[in-house]
A = this chain, B = another copy of it.
Amino acid sequence: MTSLDSATSPTPGPDVTELVVGVLGGTGDQGRGLAYRLAKAGQQVIIGSRNAERAEAAAAELGLGVRGADNATTARESDLVIVAVPWDGHGETLASLRAELAGKIVVDCVNPLGFDKQGAYALKPEEGSAAQQAAALLPESRVTAAFHHLSAVLLQDHAIETIDTDVLVLGDERAATDLVQALAERIPGMRGVFAGRLRNAHQVESLVANLISVNRRYKAHAGLRITDV
């Protein structure tokens, strides 16, 4: 088995340095964290929000050339769009952006979870997963799923230079998943690992409920590594 500390990319990826990356829900913790990491790595990033002013304010706070805009403008002006909106509202937001997202690579990183006294548990979307819901609502887009297991705390901690984790990338189109893997690998410490088709996205999304249990038990910000790759 490959040693775990040699987590180098299993496949050399395409050049993604010129891609403009939009982040829908970019004013939330996860979206803002991803926007920060990608911009810091040199990517052009637009933060999207329903409220353009909030997006602009979040972008100004991040610096690094990040712009802010309403969701529709963000989708239109980006080559690749990360969906980091809350699960509640996911379908409605995407349905409203179908035209703007046509032809774009969409990266869904939404985890449909419920919470009660015992912690988090998986919700099962009618379509099977958040990613499959996105694919159903955006038939002209190239829908992938990735970036589910990142700690928003670590992403946003400017004192941390390296995020030691694998990013599981799912999708039905090889060229799209290759691009998303390469994008993940722009962030120091991250490695993109292809992990199956969209029909197997539900368990990847839901595994966040388990990572929340890990975090509670061990006071950690848990991530994942795939061994032997």
Contact = CB atoms under 8 A, between A and B. Distances in A.
B193 A214 contact: yes
A10 B210 contact: no
A124 B165 CA distance: 28
A183 to B, nearest CB: 18
Contacts of A162: 1
A209 B214 contact: no
Interface in A177-229: 193-197, 199-200, 202-204, 206-207, 209-214, 217-218, 220-229
Interface stretch (A16-24, A49-57, A85-93, A114-122): A114-122
B225 A4 contact: yes
Interface in A1-58: 1, 3-5, 7, 10
Q: How many copies does the complex hold?
A: 2
A210 B195 contact: yes
A120 B197 CA distance: 10
A152 interface: no
A197 B160 CA distance: 31
A109 interface: no
A10 B218 CA distance: 7
Given A10-B218, A119-B196, A170-B210, 5 more contacts: A119-B197, A122-B200, A218-B229, A220-B229, A224-B225
Interface of A: 1, 3-5, 7, 10, 118-122, 124, 151, 154, 160, 162-165, 168, 170, 193-197, 199-200, 202-204, 206-207, 209-214, 217-218, 220-229
